[in-house]
Amino acid sequence: MLSGHSARVWGAKHLPGGGVVSIGEDTTCRVWERGVANVGVVSRVLAGHKGRSVWSMALNKDSSKVVRTCMSFLVALNVPT
């Protein structure tokens, strides 16, 4: 179970090693790691989209980078780990 976004979640993708990256209406992209009893723990919050939902994301082939887009006409590139 993953709990941490403060609004609707628009998407999620698996990362190598069991992590997950998710995007949401709360303007963030969150990186999750497996915690105790398989409960997800936020390991990193990728912010930067001011006041607008993050609507889409893509990972490169080895999942070392995530590209995200939002309603504020921004494209952001981050390293999820």
* Residue-range domain boundaries for the chain: 9-78
State both tokens at 62. 């080895």
pTM comes to: 0.75
Q: What is the pLDDT along the chain (81 residues), one digit of tens a residue?
A: 567 778 888 888 888 878 888 888 888 888 888 766 556 778 888 776 666 677 788 888 887 777 777 765 555 556 665
Q: Which pLDDT value is given to residue 59?
A: 83
Can you read off the two tokens belonging to residue 74? 């921004």
- DSSP for 19-46 reads -EEEEETTS-EEEEEE-GGG-EEEEEEE
